[in-house]
Structure 1
């Protein structure tokens, strides 16, 4: 699916995005009856239209090359499939305090160009307000009639894992072919291969190259991981991890990647954790970002809290974080808050 990028020269029409969240700040609607945002990174338009009521519309923008191709090859059955979106949308007004209007969650809504989602508000809004759009999922329909697939589902973990060579390496683990080392998790054991582990991790390589107990005992204790999480870790190392296993165990995988210096896994975890930041997990991920030195994730979490105003939605949780969190990390967040207030 092709995505459009916002023009950054006019803040009145720019949509700011982070992770799966988009916000459009309208400072003064005034007497204008129609306002259309620039296309933004997740690939959609927001439109505000005002007659008697206020209408908020969301629809996809088809990239110009695709439009031109359709016009030229109108009889060639070229199909630009409309996306299928699940999202939460709300309007936050600054007049009379922080007033929020929330639309019921939208599930699997097909968005066609020019005729996507429409929300008619029966409340009069003037002055400054924010349209807050949080995608839960975004799918593209298959051109051959097959099942639609999420654009976020498998990008990080598939790579080239279907090649013959990597499939064979994966079978070595799943079928315990000539294993020569035992991994002892907190609630079970898994057979593995020294050569594979050493090739993927400098820490494992060091264990097997020196007179450490793991070299003599032919066993490695990873008792801070469950058997399921350890299986996911090894599956990643052997390049046959399933996407859902990766998602389910991301924080365990991040800890293991840091402990055993598997840098590509650490990068994959950071990128994945950035993708679906929300109010339920942002503080946990902020602390993980600080603990495991993940600067991009940390910046994304702080922006989500401060720039996008989500700190107001979790005030109780944030107060608890202030009381018990890392002092340096709290200082960074507070400094960001103060900077935002100065620019308000």
Structure 2
């Protein structure tokens, strides 16, 4: 029977070679499938004995070349069928960069004590049989077994960049679970599934869920936990938001807000985040308001920063006005600003002005 067939299970491939010696110094396995690629193993004996692993040439290999990370083990057996481990057990992880292939060896006598985490880790892009050759420190062994356990397989992008694993990782599963949860929350809001609280805004009413609001805001949580009117009536009065801006708030809390609605309502969202102590929304609004400071809005942004204690936004506005000299572009608006702004803010601005214009 030909000994070119490789058996596979999960991410493990095993090639049992029955006859390898002086009359058969080269063998190549039949193709076997791991991941999206077909693979070959080969063994050859010239001056030294080498084992190679490489993908079968195909359109898939050309368009989506693999970056392989794997452990390779060689086991020999004598006439008494007692297994014998090659004097060196190898961990090979192939790097997607040009360079010399290095086989890191960890000596052991028994397979059960093999510890791959103690061996150096390397990775390399695999395209042809020339990309990986593992020297094995045994002579013609006759019968032996080659195990290849794939730890990871990545698709190497042709235009460079980080490869992506073909197998789900903890991060991928977490992302899938998060996406599924967000879809469910979105449906709960859109289809009013088991809603239990009504929100009255300046121009309409909305419905939501006490559990979602309570988990998102300590203020909402307190409303429903203690004997307040909101707990008794299941009605929240939000008289400083329109139904549109309040829906943007709910969309954020339910994980379904889009960028356009966020930008359109971010000042209202900032006020709501401050009022209901939604810290991550407040931070997101501050970062967003920092992105498009200009001479038409810088004084308004400065006032908002002072009102809601947004230090990064306040510093950004002062740098824009003073360090970049844009204060001259808003000279006409400065008088109104100084008349209406908080006294402490005005004092701080004058102190910043003196620091910038201090004679040298």
TM-score normalized by the length of structure 2: 0.51
Q: Assess, with a 3 A threshold, how the Cα gap between structure 1 residues 160 and 295 changes in structure 2: closer, same or farther.
A: farther
Q: Assess, with a 3 A threshold, how the Cα gap between structure 1 residues 178 and 262 changes in structure 2: closer, same or farther.
A: same
Among 193, 205, 210, the residue aligned to 1:189: 205
Among 321, 335, 357, the residue aligned to 1:319: 335
State the Cα RMSD in Å.
Answer: 2.1
Among 311, 317, 334, the residue aligned to 2:350: 334
Following the alignment from structure 1 to structure 2, what is the Cα–Cα distance between the partners of residues 314 and 272?
22
Q: Which residue is equivalent to 2:225?
A: 209
Shift of 1:218: 1.0
Following the alignment from structure 1 to structure 2, what is the Cα–Cα distance between the partners of residues 161 and 264?
21
Alignment of structure 1 residues 34-183 onto 2, 5 Å: 78=159, 163-183=179-199
The answer (yes or no) to whether the contact 1:185–1:221 under 8 Å persists in 2 is yes
Q: Assess, with a 3 A threshold, how the Cα gap between structure 1 residues 235 and 303 changes in structure 2: closer, same or farther.
A: same
Following the alignment from structure 1 to structure 2, what is the Cα–Cα distance between the partners of residues 226 and 343?
50
Q: Assess, with a 3 A threshold, how the Cα gap between structure 1 residues 204 and 337 changes in structure 2: closer, same or farther.
A: same
Residues 86-131 of structure 1, C-alpha deviations (whole Å, 9 max, x = no match): xxxxxxxxxxxxxxxxxxxxxxxxxxxxxxxxxxxxxxxxxxxxxx
Q: Which residue is equivalent to 1:261?
A: 277
Following the alignment from structure 1 to structure 2, what is the Cα–Cα distance between the partners of residues 161 and 243?
22
Counterpart secondary structure, 2:344: helix
Following the alignment from structure 2 to structure 1, what is the Cα–Cα distance between the partners of residues 303 and 197?
34
The answer (yes or no) to whether the contact 1:161–1:239 under 8 Å persists in 2 is no
Shift of 1:167: 1.5
Shift of 1:77: 6.2
Q: Assess, with a 3 A threshold, how the Cα gap between structure 1 residues 160 and 77 changes in structure 2: closer, same or farther.
A: closer
Q: Which runs of 5+ in 2 are unaligned?
A: 1-97, 99-156, 162-174
Q: Which residue is equivalent to 2:261?
A: 245
Among 243, 249, 252, the residue aligned to 1:233: 249
Following the alignment from structure 2 to structure 1, what is the Cα–Cα distance between the partners of residues 314 and 252?
24
Q: Does 1:291 align with 2:307?
A: yes
Following the alignment from structure 2 to structure 1, what is the Cα–Cα distance between the partners of residues 265 and 211?
24
Q: Which residue is equivalent to 1:308?
A: 324
Residues 304-327 of structure 1, C-alpha deviations (whole Å, 9 max, x = no match): 110011100110011221122111
Among 239, 242, 252, the residue aligned to 1:223: 239
Q: Assess, with a 3 A threshold, how the Cα gap between structure 1 residues 246 and 162 changes in structure 2: closer, same or farther.
A: farther
Counterpart secondary structure, 1:313: helix
TM-score normalized by the length of structure 1: 0.53
Counterpart secondary structure, 2:231: helix
Following the alignment from structure 1 to structure 2, what is the Cα–Cα distance between the partners of residues 252 and 160?
31
Shift of 1:333: 1.1
Following the alignment from structure 1 to structure 2, what is the Cα–Cα distance between the partners of residues 226 and 291?
21
Following the alignment from structure 1 to structure 2, what is the Cα–Cα distance between the partners of residues 243 and 161?
22
Shift of 1:223: 1.1
Following the alignment from structure 1 to structure 2, what is the Cα–Cα distance between the partners of residues 343 and 193?
60
Larger Rg: 2
Residues 33-65 of structure 1, C-alpha deviations (whole Å, 9 max, x = no match): xxxxxxxxxxxxxxxxxxxxxxxxxxxxxxxxx
